[in-house]
Structure formats: C-alpha cells, structure tokens
Amino acid sequence: MLQAIRSAVTLPEIRSRIIFTLFILVIYRLVSHVPVPGVDPEVLRQIRQAVEAGQAGGLGNLVGLLNLLSGGAVFNFSVLAMGVYPYVTASLILQLLIPVIPRLEEMAKEGEQGRRKINRLTYFLTVPMAALNAIGQVNIFESIGVGLTNGQRVLPQWGLDRPEFILPTLVTIVTMTAGTMFAVWLGELITEQGIGQGLSIIIFGGIVARIPASLAQIASSTTPLLTIAAFVVVVVVTVLGIVFIQEGERRVPVQYGRRVRGRRVLGGVGTHIPLKVNSAGMIPLIFAQAILVFPAIIAGFFVNSRDAGVQDFAAGVVRLFSAGQTTQAAPSVEMALYTVFYFLLVIGFTYFYTDVMMQQQNLPENLQKQGGFIPGIRPGKNTEVFITSITRRLTLVGALFLGLLAILPYLLSFISYVPPFGFLRPVGGNSLLLSGAGLLIVVGVVLDTMRQLQAQLMMRNYEGFIK
C-alpha cells in the first residue's frame, strides 16, 4: 500500500487526479459553511446542542444520520445541508423498483446504454426528492426548536400561512435543492477526473473533518491516556473486522462449454463467481435508523392527547424509540429494547436488500445464456436454488456482523457502567466515529480508492510495456 501511494505521488497524471480530488473536497467544505438565507444562528446553536446532548427526542437520530450523510453540513444549516442524501434515496428507490416495473427491468438489461438511462432517471428523481427533503428537514428543526426556544424559529419567515412568507419559503426550498444538485455534480467531477467514487469521497471527507473534535472530546475525560488507548484498540479491532468481512467472498466455480465458430474454438475455460459476505454495504443500517425514527415522530402527535390512556401510550413509545438518541445516558430498559430492535432490523434489512440485489443480477439466467454452468449442478432452477442457498448462508454472517457493528456504541455504553470499565464511557458516547455507517463508509472509501490507485498504476505499467 505504501509503495502504491509513493508511486502514485511520483506520477504526474495520478498526482493531478489526487490534487483535483482534494481541491473539490476543499470547495465542498467551504460551501458547507454557507448558511441558508434567513437562518437564525442562535436558535440553530441551541438545537445543535440539544441534538448532541440527546435532548431532541426521536428526531435526534434522524438529524444525526442526515448530518453524517451531508458531511456535517446539517448542523450548519448550509445550502448543502442535505448533502447527497436525496440522490442516495432516489437511487435506492429506483433499485427497488427495477424488479417491479418491466420497463426499468428492460433498461437494466440493456448494458451500458441502459445504465445511462437509469442514471438519468435518478437525476430527474433527485430534484423532487431534494425539494421534499428540504421541506421535511426544515420542519424537523422547527419541531425540535419548539421546546427549546421562547417562540423563536430557525427560519422566522418559513411557511405558506402568510403571504409575505411565500417568497422566502420558495427561496429556501430552491436554494437547498440547488445545493444538493451542486453536491452531486461535485461528486461526479471527482468520479470522472479524480480518484475514487465521488459521492462516497464527499461523505468520507465530512466524517474525517470531525475526527479532531471527537478526539478532543475523548481527551477531555478524567483518564485521557487510558480512554484514548481504549478508543484506538476498539477502532482498530472494528476496522480489521470490517475489512475481513467486506473483502470476504465465496468463490463458486463456473465452467464454460466449448463452442466452435468457424475455425475458432471458444470457451472451455474455468472461472468463478465471487459472492460477497456483505453485499448490502451500509444500506441496512440507514434503513434501520430511518425506520426507528418514525414511531417516535408519529407518537409525538398524540403526546398531548386529551385521553389519558392515549397520552401515556404515546409517551411510552416516544421514550422507547428516543432511548437510542444518546449513548451517554445510563442503561435503561428502553435503551436495551431499542438496541434489540435496532439489531433485528439491521439483520432483516440485510436479507431483504441482498435478495433484491441478487434478483437484479439474475446470475443463473446470465450463466445459461453465456454457456456457463456450475460443475455438478444442472443449469436453470437447480443453479438458482444452489446460488440462493449459498447467498443465504453468507448473508447470515454478514447480517450478524452488521447488526453487531450497528449496536457497538450501545454495547460499549452498557459495559462502561460496570465499575472496572468506567473509562470506556467517553468511548461509547463518541458515536460519530464508532457508528456502523460511519466506519463502513470510511473503510469502504479507503479500500475502493486504493483499488483505483492500483488500477491506475497497473495501466501505466502495461502502457510502458507495450511501448
């Protein structure tokens, strides 16, 4: 790896790509500090403090997730407050709709041209998704700020109830939507002219930018050296586990029959199908966190009900699904139940998303069309059953790992209240670096970027050999 980095820096073409990527990241970080017109900074500061302290109710988890995917721009309420989250949502929606809508399924089978059409549809769908996300995000901050300020609002001129508020509201929606498309454009520039996947690099840059503040928070504990050492050990072990699972695969052998075309004999070679242990990535974690937010949001509308039974039930639901807002609180029954629900949801969504992806790839049919077969397995239905059984067993390992990764901050929080392990309390409370989605993004982006650097180096070596 170090040799690859040193070689990449010495080659002008690759060095220019790295510099271009860093330049785009600097632009993104600068623009992420430009606030939306009309934002009250004092109210925004109070809301940020409430979210970080775990006093924002069930909406705090959603704000934390949006802040992660926006690279920290949500807490600034900048023009890039939504980051690339609407684009990610639009792409996920289209992936789930491909097996359902025949026309989309035909596009997916058209090769490169079909992928371009689906990408174009994703861009078109991103615009309304960004507008809806802008409205929802403003309303979330308004809801959080109701109980924190004395009648003050994040956006004093937000709403359509008064004529003088219509134009500022439309300006806010258009500005935040344009910010999302600008972020997506920056990501595409990195993908085309830089190194790595642009959208992932942007999210990665936001996570890494907050590492110094998080380390300073850990260092301010009563036992800084012991706490930092424990933090480093936990992060290193977790990263090793992520790399081991992410790179793990089951290689299913495939044999291609010989075909005679004229005087040429094609085929007759053996290869393999690499089935990943975790092919779902961080998507199940995002789905699970989003689902766990909704019960608290819905129950919040009934907390002030006139019926005492409904009010008590709604308050209990809010307490249960708001328990995961902070890992710094003392362990409770609600937090334990929240941890169990989170773990089970991650496992369920991992199986669901993996099945959807396998249906889209349609490996048995593609193998049969290309004249390939698995030794000892009849083509067609038997091949499908064989691949499905292997995928289910691999998914079990990946799902359990993702579930443990998701609840890692909560497990550390529980352990930290055992007297000998009190020094782990700041480590468990630092959910930014230890969150499953954050670590998966960081490790995944680093691995993918290193692969692309290796590919660029190999391409240049091959060109020099041919010359």
Tens of pLDDT along 112-143? 788 888 888 989 999 998 888 888 778 777 77
Q: Does residue 48 sit in the same domain as residue 196?
A: yes
Question: What's the pLDDT score for residue 53?
Answer: 62
Distance between CA atoms of residues 154 and 74, nearest Å: 13
Could you tell me if 215 and 230 are in contact, meaning their C-beta atoms sit under 8 angstroms apart? no
Q: Does residue 301 sit in the same domain as residue 411?
A: yes
Residue 381 covered by a domain: yes
Residue 339 covered by a domain: yes
Residue 441 covered by a domain: no
Structural domain ending residue among the three candidates 153, 181, 209? 209
- Residues near 374 by Cβ (< 8 Å), separated by ≥ 6? 252, 253, 254, 255, 367, 383, 386
Question: What's the pLDDT score for residue 466?
Answer: 42
Which has the higher per-residue pLDDT, 217 or 442?
Answer: 442
Tens of pLDDT along 351-392? 888 887 777 777 777 777 777 778 888 887 888 888 888 888
Q: What is the mean pLDDT of residues 188-206?
A: 83
Which has the higher per-residue pLDDT, 338 or 297?
Answer: 338
Q: Does residue 400 sit in the same domain as residue 257?
A: yes
Question: What's the pLDDT score for residue 261?
Answer: 61
Q: Does residue 132 sit in the same domain as residue 229?
A: no
Q: What is the mean pLDDT of residues 230-234?
A: 80
Q: Does residue 266 sit in the same domain as residue 159?
A: no
Q: Does residue 312 sit in the same domain as residue 386?
A: yes
Structural domain ending residue among the three candidates 189, 209, 229? 209
Question: What's the pLDDT score for residue 112?
Answer: 78
Residue 446 covered by a domain: no
**What sign has the CA pseudo-torsion 80, 82, 86, 92?**
positive
Distance between CA atoms of residues 300 and 323, nearest Å: 14
Q: Does residue 290 sit in the same domain as residue 413?
A: yes
Residue 124 covered by a domain: yes
pLDDT tier at 462, thresholds 50, 70, 90: very low
Could you tell me if 238 and 439 are in contact, meaning their C-beta atoms sit under 8 angstroms apart? yes
Question: What's the pLDDT score for residue 324?
Answer: 58
Question: What's the pLDDT score for residue 178?
Answer: 92
Q: Does residue 196 sit in the same domain as residue 290?
A: no
Distance between CA atoms of residues 27 and 32, nearest Å: 9
Question: What's the pLDDT score for residue 182?
Answer: 92
Please return the burial class of 216, using the count of CB atoms within 10 Å of its CB with bins 0-12, 13-18 and 19+.
exposed
pLDDT tier at 330, thresholds 50, 70, 90: low
Question: What's the pLDDT score for residue 328?
Answer: 55
Distance between CA atoms of residues 145 and 151, nearest Å: 9
Q: Does residue 162 sit in the same domain as residue 277?
A: no
Residue 462 covered by a domain: no
Structural domain ending residue among the three candidates 209, 236, 263? 209
Question: What's the pLDDT score for residue 329?
Answer: 58
Phi, psi angle pair for 350, to nearest 5°: -65, -45
Q: Does residue 118 sit in the same domain as residue 241?
A: no
pLDDT tier at 195, thresholds 50, 70, 90: confident
Range of the domain at 160: 1-209
Selection from 39, 381, 376 nearest residue 176 by Cα = 39
C-alpha 379, offset from chain centre = 37
Give me the number of domains the chain comprises.
Answer: 2
Q: What is the mean pLDDT of residues 85-107?
A: 82
Q: In what order do the strands lie in the sheet with 372-373?
A: 270-276, 249-256, 372-373
CATH, residue 105: 1.10.3370.10
Question: What's the pLDDT score for residue 387?
Answer: 86
Q: Does residue 185 sit in the same domain as residue 229?
A: no
Residue 440 covered by a domain: no
Residue 450 covered by a domain: no
Q: What is the mean pLDDT of residues 63-91?
A: 76
Distance between CA atoms of residues 453 and 5, nearest Å: 8
Question: What's the pLDDT score for residue 422?
Answer: 67
Phi, psi angle pair for 189, to nearest 5°: -65, -40
Please return the burial class of 126, using the count of CB atoms within 10 Å of its CB with bins 0-12, 13-18 and 19+.
buried
Q: Range with the lowest mean pLDDT among 1-5, 75-79, 222-226, 413-417?
A: 1-5
Could you tell me if 218 and 228 are in contact, meaning their C-beta atoms sit under 8 angstroms apart? yes
Q: Does residue 155 sit in the same domain as residue 250?
A: no
Tens of pLDDT along 18-63? 889 889 988 988 888 888 888 878 777 777 777 766 655 556 666 7
